[in-house]
Amino acid sequence: MKHQTRKATRHVSQNEGLIFEKSSPGKSAWRLPPLDVPEVDTQKLLGAARRTDLGPMPEVSEIEIIRHFTRLSTWNYAIDLGMYPLGSCTMKYNPRVNEVVSRLDGLANAHPYQPEKISQGALRILKTLSECLVEITGMDAITLQPAAGAHGELTGLLMVRAHLHAKGDPRKKILIPDSAHGTNPATAATAGYAVENLKSNAQGMVDVAALAAQMNEEVAALMLTNPNTLGIFEQEIHKIADLMHAKGGLLYMDGANMNALVGKVRPGDFGVDLMHLNLHKTFSTPHGGGGPGSGPVAVKRFLEPFLPKPVVVSKADGTLGFDYNRPRSVGRVRAFYGNFGMFVRALAYIFANGPDGLRQTTEDAVLNANYVRKGLESAYDLPYPTPSMHEVVFSDKLQAKKGVRTMDIAKRLIDYGFHPYTTAFPLIVPGALMIEPTESEPKEELDLFVEAMRSIAEEVDEDPQMVLAAPYSTRVSRLDEVAAARNPVLRWKPKG
Amino acid sequence: MRYLPKSPADREAMLQAIGVRSIDDLFAPIPAEYRLERDLKVPRQMAETEIVDWFRERSRENGDGYAATFLGAGAYYHYRPVIIDSLISRGEFLTAYTPYQAEVSQGTLQAIFEFQTMISELAGMEVANASMYDGSTAATEAVMMAGRLSGRRSVVLARSLHPEYREVLSTYAAHQGMPLTTLPYTASGRIDLAALERAVTQETACVLLQSPNFFGTIEDVAAVAELAHKQGALLVVAIAEVVSLGILEPPRQADIVALEAQSFGVPLGFGGPYCGIIATRERYVRQMPGRLVGQTCDRNGKRGFVLTLATREQHIRREKATSNICTNQALMALMATIFMTIYGKEGLKELAKQNLAKAAYAAEQFGKHAKLLFQESPRFHEFVIQTSEDPHAINNRLLGHKIVGGLPLKKFYPELGNAALWCCTEMTSRTAIDTAVGFISESERGVRSAPEVDVEEVAP
């Protein structure tokens, strides 16, 4: 390997088998206190319902568990280790005070059905976060119930449907730009709508003329991500909103890219009727290896009656409570009140930032993306030269001539000590490299990233075969995904 | 701002490198009339001490310091061994993304593979997914999956399924053209089998029931399975209390099992985040929603793990996907994996036994003073007590002694009158049980000798 990296150095990592392979009868990591009530005869109490064998569940000691999971953890890349430039994922720093406050006894051990008079703290958190998010989005009301972004999308479309149904105008279709995230069309189908694709124009934005032609009384809503997945702000957003509203349709905004807007512009001010937020993106709650998320949906006043129930209300005696009497509500989308632990974290993040911090955060996120763009635009093809907001999308057009595709470049980037960017998305860019640095990266880290990406571009010119076989520095080389899907092995089984 | 790693000089240098004069130039694409020219009206920037103090105050207002709770009903108070938080707080788990890039995500991937193995084993199924949002959405998605598998639309479900799970199902089903028929429970607390036999037809996609059900009663899953399968319908079983699987036969006759694994080391946290899961038979896996981890090999033949069967998912199949789910509950699944590993084969059994014993003792003691419903069926760790007095009033007095009583059922099951659902776990002390029993006994004596008075409603 000719090109060396300044960011990372290989070092030894521990081998570790599956936990089942360490198990043997008689080892244990638990001890229960003595039972203070009489022992029971399980056979007598349960009869045929009684279970006697738990199969090959592990039997190991506490130190083995600590080592097992610590070893596994060292095989992961993480924000805590370095830049995680996944586009549209907003992999920002996850503040540790968030973790501390979410574990306070009265919050972590609160039962969702405990009486309201001993739930005033939790209700106050729900209310305060709601007020902050309503202000940030420029909307009028909000539900915190959805458990993730896609769940928020569904909740939003159910509200669209309820609103149109109440007007006696149930519609059939949802318009979705071809640059959209896959959850948008999947959500529309779940909500019982047909999906109609909307083509982007040469600048990577909604083709307003095409929208005008496609918009009619059959269309319930347009689901629009803004900035879109190319990192481009939809500059004709007001025309888009007007077109939708003129024909009785609604404008839904996918807030996945809200990290480009907070404190600078509010969707409620540019014509959006409803939108979801991803607390696990914009508001710093940890991704945790794939979740949990939280997908609040903010709406304009006319949609407020349709919010999922319950909603938090101030009562006559000054206390807070839940209102279940919401006859026009779309119903429940989840048991209890949503991913409360994420609300605590998101609110702590807002407190730590304040209005000035939130604005500076957005500015730094956009600054970082443009800095990376500038650093890489002479080495990689930029299919849409339209100005970038918080992320930038290149294509592998130049490297593909040598047979090297976006996934190969991404794998090589691992050897340089970085997590890959998002590959092959959005779909409108063949061979996309989608890069979102977020505000959390210092200039030094961005410089190293740009240097690494430029170095890989040179490697592609000089020795494409080498890049094709990357990564070289990881515990495992490229894995056989085809075999995994053809003959799925989805669990461990004991031998014999 | 303390999370932002740039000096003013850095910003200046970067603007220069980009070739713009000020940060405002980068926001030029936003039409001027929409730009926010004022501060957001959110609280001012706070110091860490202020943040901690604010949330401590909220914690104090929120039942911090209560001695005992008898609440269950789909969210359970179990002990969380300390090493769960030690391990999940490692940044490599906490701050990692979904493991799409397998070479730098083997830690998360292997842990999920272990999770899938343990859950499928405990649930008596062949495969389990990497998690769903929670038990209610898992049950709902399991029903949608049964619709796709059977090619049928109508759904028969038990009224003894968690009422909020039923609400979620009805929200989703309304837009999927899936009519729901809800069947009553009998005096035994179990689903009415005669009504079930009448309700299940050749149109029925699936039967959905919970066991132990909302009342804590263990259903006769085998009998229900037989009636469902006779008509070609699938059986979906929801399990809201996974600790029960340590001592109860899993629903092996089911086709799909929808679980809530909160009890495995996930904090109560006022209702979330929790850990839903769908488990099923191998032959149904291609209709299963949610992420799946599979074992495979790298180029040198070394074992490794990847996300697999992605053609079921929204990022590949878009509107034809099995579900719109993307983000799941990975960190909660990791908590559950560590919990299951700590207790393991013997500990899970003993833990379940302690829960059973505590509830058996409590039910017996409560039953001496008030009416224990659904006595003839086996139970796990929840039971329904009917009192003469409104249970809100009894609970109100218990609260004065820092004890949270059982869940009054009038809101969900008005036909049960003054009934409440009580839950005991390994965390419930005999002292707390005896104290609560004392209040019930006092209430019954009081009601027999005094006229009824109005009471303040304190529970939802």
CB spacing of A182 vs B358 below 8 angstroms: no
Which positions ≥6 away from B274 have C-beta within 8 Å?
Answer: B75, B133, B134, B135, B260, B261, B262, B266, B329, B332
Round to whole Å and give the CA distance between B122 and B256.
13
Which amino acid is it at A355? Answer: P
Measured in degrees and rounded to the nearest 5, phi and psi for residue B350 equal -65, -40
Burial B364-396, CB ≥16 within 10 A → b, else e: ebbbebbbbbbeebbbbbbbbbebbbbbbbbbb
pLDDT at B450: 61
Flag whether residue B19 sits within 8 Å of chain A, measured between CB atoms: yes
Question: B258 and B209: one domain?
Answer: yes
Structural domains counted in chain B: 2
For residue B321, is it within any domain?
A: yes
Which run of H or of E encompasses B316?
A: helix B314-317
Question: B387 and B238: one domain?
Answer: no
> Using N-to-C axis directions, what is the helix angle for A340-376 and B8-18, rounded to 10°?
50
- Nearest-Cα residue of chain A relative to residue B290: A290
Question: B210 and B295: one domain?
Answer: yes
For residue B97, is it within any domain?
A: yes
Low-confidence ranges of chain A (pLDDT < 70): 1-3, 496
Q: Which phi-psi region, left, alpha or beta, contains residue B126 (left: φ > 0; alpha: ψ -120 to 50)?
A: alpha
Which amino acid is it at A167? Answer: K
Question: B315 and B380: one domain?
Answer: no
Domain definitions of chain A by residue range: 97-350
For residue B58, is it within any domain?
A: no
pLDDT at B459: 44
Q: Of B295, B314, B339, which residue constitutes the final position of a domain?
A: B339
Say if strands B371-372 and B382-386 run parallel, antiparallel, or are unpaired: antiparallel
Which positions ≥6 away from B430 have C-beta within 8 Å?
Answer: A36, A37, B361
Q: Which phi-psi region, left, alpha or beta, contains residue A18 (left: φ > 0; alpha: ψ -120 to 50)?
A: beta
For residue B419, is it within any domain?
A: yes
Q: What would be the CATH architecture of the domain defined by A97-350? A: 3-Layer(aba) Sandwich (3.40)
* ipTM, interface predicted TM-score of the complex: 0.97
Contact between B406 and B71 under an 8 Å Cβ cutoff? The reply is yes
**Taking CB atoms and an 8 Å cutoff, what residues of chain B touch A485?**
294, 308-311
Which positions ≥6 away from B163 have C-beta within 8 Å?
Answer: B214, B412, B413
CB spacing of B59 vs A105 below 8 angstroms: yes
Q: Is B460 exposed, middle or buried (0-12, 13-18, 19+ CB in 10 A)?
A: middle
List the one residue out of A91, A425, A138, A435 whose CA is nearest residue A259.
A91
pLDDT tens across the length of chain B (460 residues): 999 999 999 999 999 999 999 999 999 999 999 999 999 999 999 999 999 999 999 999 998 888 899 999 999 999 999 999 999 999 999 999 999 999 999 999 999 999 999 999 999 999 999 999 999 999 999 999 999 999 999 999 999 999 999 999 999 999 888 999 999 999 999 999 999 999 999 999 999 999 999 999 999 999 999 999 999 999 999 999 999 999 999 999 999 999 999 999 999 999 999 999 999 999 999 999 999 999 999 999 999 999 999 988 888 888 889 999 999 999 999 999 999 999 999 999 999 999 999 999 999 999 999 999 999 999 999 999 999 999 999 999 999 999 999 999 999 999 999 999 999 999 999 999 999 999 999 999 987 676 544 444 444 4
For chain B, the average pLDDT equals: 96
Question: B254 and B376: one domain?
Answer: no
Which positions ≥6 away from B450 have C-beta within 8 Å?
Answer: none
List the one residue out of A146, A208, A336, A83 whose CA is nearest residue B268.
A336
Question: B298 and B430: one domain?
Answer: no
Tens-digit pLDDT profile for residues A268-289: 999 999 999 999 999 999 999 9
pLDDT at B67: 86
**From the CB of residue B76, how many other CB atoms can be counted at a distance below 10 Å?**
26
Round to whole Å and give the CA distance between B53 and A165.
46
Tens-digit pLDDT profile for residues B303-316: 999 999 998 888 88
Which positions ≥6 away from A221 have C-beta within 8 Å?
Answer: A157, A160, A174, A175, A244, A249, A250, A251, A252, A273
Which of B278, B326, B335, B376 to mutate to probe the A interface, most A CBs <10 Å?
Answer: B326
Which of A90, A345, A444, A490 to mutate to probe the B interface, most B CBs <10 Å?
Answer: A490
**From the CB of residue A450, how many other CB atoms can be counted at a distance below 10 Å?**
17
**From the CB of residue A63, how many other CB atoms can be counted at a distance below 10 Å?**
10
For residue B26, is it within any domain?
A: no
CB spacing of A280 vs B327 below 8 angstroms: yes
Query: What distance in Å separates residue A11's CA from the closest CA in chain B?
Result: 14
Nearest-5° angle of CA A39, CA A42, CA A48? 175
Q: Which phi-psi region, left, alpha or beta, contains residue B226 (left: φ > 0; alpha: ψ -120 to 50)?
A: alpha
For residue B7, is it within any domain?
A: no
A222, β-bridge pairs: A175, A251
**Taking CB atoms and an 8 Å cutoff, what residues of chain A touch B98?**
287, 289-291
Which amino acid is it at A64? Answer: E
Question: B334 and B368: one domain?
Answer: no
Question: B312 and B443: one domain?
Answer: no
Question: B387 and B311: one domain?
Answer: no
Flag whether residue B378 sits within 8 Å of chain A, measured between CB atoms: yes
Round to whole Å and give the CA distance between A279 and A148.
8
Structure token pair of residue B30: 């936003």
Cα-based torsion angle of the residue sequence A49, B160, B165, B230 in order, rounded to the nearest 10 degrees: 70
Measured in degrees and rounded to the nearest 5, phi and psi for residue A127 equal -70, -45
Give the number of beta-carbon pairs within 8 Å between A and B. 697
**Taking CB atoms and an 8 Å cutoff, what residues of chain B touch A115?**
395, 399, 404, 458-460
Question: B429 and B302: one domain?
Answer: no
Domain boundaries, position B174? 83-339
For chain A, the average pLDDT equals: 96
In chain A, what percentage of residues exceed pLDDT 70?
Answer: 99
Question: B282 and B177: one domain?
Answer: yes
When CB atoms are compared, the residue of A106, A332, A410 closest to B167 is A332
Domain containing residue B331: CATH number = 3.40.640.10
B403, β-bridge pairs: B68
The interface residues of chain B toward chain A in range 387-416, judged by CB-CB distance below 8 A, are: 395, 399, 404, 407
The residue assigned the tokens 């008898």 is B70
List the one residue out of A192, A332, A156 whose CA is nearest residue B171.
A332
3-state secondary structure (DSSP) of residue A350? helix
Rg (Cα) of chain A, in Å, rounded?
Answer: 25
When CB atoms are compared, the residue of B58, B71, B103 closest to A414 is B103
pLDDT at B460: 43
